[in-house]
Copies of this chain bind each other. A is one copy, B any other.
Amino acid sequence: MSSAKELGERKIIELILECLDQMPNPLIPFGDDASAVDLGTDKLAVINMDMLVGKTDVPRTMSLWQAARKAVIMNISDLAAKGAQPLALLASIGVPPNLTKTDIQQIGKGLNAGAREYNTYILGGDTNEASDLIISCMALGVCRKHHLIKRSGAKPGDYVAVTGSFGKTASGLKILMNSLSAPENSGELVASVLMPKARVKEGMILAQSQATTASIDSSDGLAWSLHEISRASNVGFHLDKIPIAPEVERFAKIHGFDPVELALYGGEEYELLVTIKPKLWQEAKKAVENVEGNLIKLGRVTEEKQLLLQTDGKLVSIEARGWEHFKTA
């Protein structure tokens, strides 16, 4: 019988989902960035949970402080994708027996730093003995019922846009893991891996703008996230461009990588990918800029369920590939 290693992360999730009864009329379906619960007022509780495992999610050059902070950021990013304001966090920690007092303090400080950056707090949790370092966080946020953005609302003709450029974490990981040389002035490539940011202000303002029809965070990679919205909204995409950071272009050139490949098929990049009503585009872009963010148009939502990118004068298909644990390569 297949082992977890052969099944892969997505098949495992599918197997578990098949065992779960669905809440009647869920506000957000299974598999979205976060879940929402009606509290009987006009506000929804938005909750999310995401686990960081030392041996698979933490490059050797990442400190425990950075790992703990990242465990918080990746949860906050999922709230951001739903336009929710983060209110509180909890953390359950699996502690390998050989961690020192200083190691544990670094974890505590990293958790706190991540929470305070987004004006929230770690309210509780627990610790346990474990073989791996495990930092399992959950985030609670709140949003108004009519502001909640799902993955399923994209309509043909909508613009598709992102809150930043891509390819930095894929490049940064290659620098950290494969010891590849970094171009000059490219500290952002490594920083994108070690010190990710969540797009909370952008997510909240996009939800409030009423312009946004679908939203996801790009933590599983841009290509995978496009496919997720495609699947949930039953639409396709025609992209005219992918915003690639100049450092990524330089890094790709030095080492002979395709920068578009780095941008599309990376992961752990916490930008938001959204679809926007064309009539409200200027308004949405302005709103995001007012909170010191960016909204960069990539192209259009199409009725035909193909995911295409115009690049160097030709149309290429965007594959449903992305970061996945377990799967033997």
State the A residues within 8 Å of B (CB): 1-5, 7, 9, 12-13, 15-23, 26, 30-32, 34-35, 37, 39-41, 43, 45, 47-51, 53, 55-57, 87-88, 90-105, 107-109, 111-112, 115-116, 121-132, 134, 136, 138, 140, 142, 325-326
User: Nearest chain-B residue to A50 (Cβ)?
Assistant: B126
CB distance from A3 to the nearest CB of B (A): 5
Known: A16-B104, A41-B41, A112-B21. A129 touches B4 (CB 8 A): yes
A49 and B99 form a contact (CB under 8 A): no
User: How long is the Cα–Cα vector from A4 to B132 in the complex, in angstroms?
Assistant: 13
User: How long is the Cα–Cα vector from A238 to B88 in the complex, in angstroms?
Assistant: 38
User: Nearest chain-B residue to A95 (Cβ)?
Assistant: B4
Known: A21-B121, A109-B19. A138 touches B51 (CB 8 A): no
B124 and A34 form a contact (CB under 8 A): yes
A101 and B37 form a contact (CB under 8 A): no
Known: A5-B97, A39-B142, A107-B16. A134 touches B51 (CB 8 A): yes
User: How long is the Cα–Cα vector from A132 to B136 in the complex, in angstroms?
Assistant: 14
CB distance from A95 to the nearest CB of B (A): 5
CB distance from A45 to the nearest CB of B (A): 5
User: How long is the Cα–Cα vector from A4 to B98 in the complex, in angstroms?
Assistant: 6
Q: Which residues of the other chain, B, contact A107 by a CB distance below 8 angstroms?
A: 16
Known: A16-B111, A326-B129. A100 touches B21 (CB 8 A): no
B129 and A88 form a contact (CB under 8 A): no
User: A1, A22, A111, A132 — which one has the most chain B CB atoms within 10 A of its CB?
Assistant: A132
B134 and A94 form a contact (CB under 8 A): yes
Contact of A3 among B12, B17, B99 (CB under 8 A): B99
Contact of A104 among B12, B23, B126 (CB under 8 A): B12
User: How long is the Cα–Cα vector from A35 to B5 in the complex, in angstroms?
Assistant: 36
Q: Which residues of the other chain, B, contact A48 by a CB distance below 8 angstroms?
A: 90, 124
Q: Which residues of the other chain, B, contact A31 by a CB distance below 8 angstroms?
A: 124
A108 and B18 form a contact (CB under 8 A): yes
Contact of A45 among B1, B2, B13, B140 (CB under 8 A): B140
Q: Which residues of the other chain, B, contact A91 by a CB distance below 8 angstroms?
A: 49
CB distance from A242 to the nearest CB of B (A): 26
A140 and B47 form a contact (CB under 8 A): yes
User: How long is the Cα–Cα vector from A1 to B104 in the complex, in angstroms?
Assistant: 12
